[in-house]
């Protein structure tokens, strides 16, 4: 049979969906910077975030599942039997001062990561060295390039369909990512793109959630995103774009030493209980009745935060029947971090991970498309990505411009 006639002079243009993830570009940050893509946005929506950190939000966005379903919530969980770096216990006799240096922690993290072949984001933060052997780490594999513990990501699905797409690689700057993506778009080489951008989150942790530096950086993102959309519009029939995030940013207004409160109870860490102190949450595994009674007494009446009850954890999508992430979950009052915590030894001006229903916690979604009414929480961004990839696979007419 002869091959079908080709028409090199009229290449059939494809559609594309561009997903720009700006870490911590929350609804309130957007409200203070409404110049952002102002003439291009067709619809903007405030979205509820997920209690926790990027370690919970990113997997939810790319899979559509909640943490209770994909089982990735905080980075560290109590599991001394499966802890891959249990050998660190042999280092517990070395002085704490050695391990408390930032550079030593950074290089130790890199070393552990390479030694164990972790491909995900791995950092030991400020977890005391002698306590590391109690904890396993949820993001040992790259969620972007390999997938989750449970459930498929949008990238797993595109791989199964042999569809070409762009997703950022770790260890590259925001500018490198924009440059790489525009090169792919100029070649018309992809059907879909997801680009994660980290500079705004890093800046606001340092300076807080408003001010000239924040607006200047958003102006830079505005230019980069416009240039990227323009590249796509030259090569593709229809371009749908979405600018979104996982959570907002609070300014901190104080801090509290929760670790000292717990230590005053006189319980034995490792025998009575195990605790992990995230920046805004204390998570406790109670190993004895004595510890459960004492910790509940302390935390149930604590002025700087509250124990989150099971029915609320369920509603928030972060309830785990097997108590993988702790059987007492204590959330700090908004704006008051735990300092020192296992994530850092000093108070920083900007922080996220407080209650999802605080104004400063809400995420945002902006698009040149109408957004479905059902879109309310960040894990539902997944359905938009799925719809975009189905559209580009089937026909050239979306009818929703």
Tokens of 140: 């040992």
In the complex, minimum distance from the CB of residue 205 to Zn ion, in angstroms, rounded to a whole number: 6
Q: Could you tell me where the DSSP H helices lie in 147-237?
A: 154-160, 174-186, 199-207, 212-235
Residue 361 token pair: 């916690």
User: CA of 378: how far to CAs of 168, 223, 396, in Å?
Assistant: 20, 25, 28
Stretch near Zn ion under the rule CB under 5 A, chosen from 8-16, 67-75, 198-206, 227-235: 198-206
Instruction: Show the site string, 255-294: x = touches Zn ion by CB under 5 A, - = not.
Output: ----------------------------------------
**x/- binding map, residues 157-196, to Zn ion, per CB under 5 A?**
----------------------------------------
Q: Counting beta carbons within 10 angstroms of the beta carbon of residue 255, is it exposed (0 to 12), middle (13 to 18) or buried (19 or more)?
A: buried
Under the binding rule (CB under 5 A), the answer on residue 201 touching Zn ion is: yes
Strand intervals (E) in 164-317? 165-167, 192-197, 238-244, 250-251, 273-277, 281-286, 305-307
Which C-beta is closer to Zn ion: that of 214 or that of 291?
Answer: 214
Residue 17 and residue 242: Cα distance in Å, rounded?
8
Identity of the residue, 91 or 202, whose beta carbon is nearer to Zn ion in the bound complex: 202
Q: Which is nearer to Zn ion, 174 or 201 (CB)?
A: 201
State in angstroms the smallest separation of the CB of 53 from Zn ion. Answer: 7
The interface region with Zn ion, picked from 104-112, 200-208, 261-269, 294-302 by CB under 5 A, is: 200-208
Residue 70 or 250: the one with the smaller Cβ distance to Zn ion is 250
Q: Which of 241, 237, 214, 213 is nearest to 228 (CA)?
A: 241
Where does this chain touch Zn ion (CB under 5 A) — which range of 9-17, 140-148, 201-209, 362-370?
A: 201-209
What is the nearest approach in angstroms of Zn ion to the Cβ of residue 202? 7
Phi-psi region of 323 (alpha: psi -120 to 50; beta: other; left: phi over 0): left
Least Cβ distance, residue 352 to Zn ion (angstroms) = 6
Tell me the site size for Zn ion, rule CB under 5 A: 1
Nearer to Zn ion by C-beta: 201 or 327?
201
d(CA 220, CA 226): 10
Q: What would the two tokens of residue 175 be?
A: 């500018």
Could you tell me the smallest distance in angstroms from the CB atom of residue 355 to Zn ion? 16
Does 246 help bind Zn ion (rule: CB under 5 A)? Answer: no
Nearer to Zn ion, 54 or 379 (CB): 54
Nearest to 372 by CA among 178, 242, 278, 184: 242
> Which residues are at the interface with Zn ion (CB under 5 A)?
201
């Amino acid at each position: 049979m002869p091959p079908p006639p080709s028409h090199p002079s009229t290449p059939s243009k494809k559609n594309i969906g561009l997903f720009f993830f700006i870490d911590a570009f929350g609804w309130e940050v957007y409200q203070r910077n409404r110049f952002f893509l102002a003439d291009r946005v067709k619809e903007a929506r405030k979205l509820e975030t997920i209690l926790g950190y990027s370690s919970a939000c990113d997997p939810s966005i790319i899979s559509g599942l909640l943490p209770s379903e994909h089982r990735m919530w905080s980075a560290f969980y109590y599991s001394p039997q499966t802890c891959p770096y249990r050998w660190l216990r042999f280092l517990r006799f070395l002085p704490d001062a050695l391990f408390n240096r930032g550079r030593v922690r950074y290089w130790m993290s890199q070393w552990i990561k390479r030694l164990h072949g972790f491909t995900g984001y791995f950092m030991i933060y400020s977890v005391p060295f002698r306590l590391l052997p109690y904890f396993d780490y949820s993001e040992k594999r790259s969620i972007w390039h390999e997938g989750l513990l449970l459930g498929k990501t949008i990238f797993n699905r595109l791989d199964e369909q042999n569809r070409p797409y762009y997703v950022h690689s770790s260890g590259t700057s925001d500018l490198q990512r924009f440059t790489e993506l525009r090169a792919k778009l100029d070649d018309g080489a992809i059907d879909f793109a997801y680009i994660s951008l980290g500079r705004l989150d890093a800046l606001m942790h340092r300076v807080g959630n408003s001010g000239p530096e924040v607006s200047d950086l958003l102006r830079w993102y505005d230019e980069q995103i416009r240039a990227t959309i323009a590249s796509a519009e030259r090569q593709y029939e229809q371009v749908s774009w979405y600018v979104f995030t996982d959570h907002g940013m609070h300014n901190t207004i104080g801090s509290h030493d929760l670790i000292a409160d717990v230590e005053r109870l006189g319980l034995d860490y490792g025998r009575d209980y195990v605790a992990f102190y995230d920046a805004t949450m204390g998570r406790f595994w109670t190993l004895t009745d004595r510890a459960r009674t004492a910790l509940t007494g302390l935390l149930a009446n604590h002025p700087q935060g509250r124990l989150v009850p099971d029915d609320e954890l369920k509603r928030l999508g972060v309830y785990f029947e097997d108590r993988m992430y702790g059987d007492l979950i204590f959330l700090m009052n908004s704006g008051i971090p735990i300092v020192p915590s296992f994530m850092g030894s000093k108070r920083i001006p900007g922080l996220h991970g407080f209650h999802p229903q605080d104004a400063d916690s809400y995420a945002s979604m902006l698009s040149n498309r109408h957004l479905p009414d059902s879109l309310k929480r960040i894990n539902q961004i997944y359905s938009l990505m799925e719809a975009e990839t189905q559209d580009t696979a089937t026909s050239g007419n979306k009818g929703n411009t």
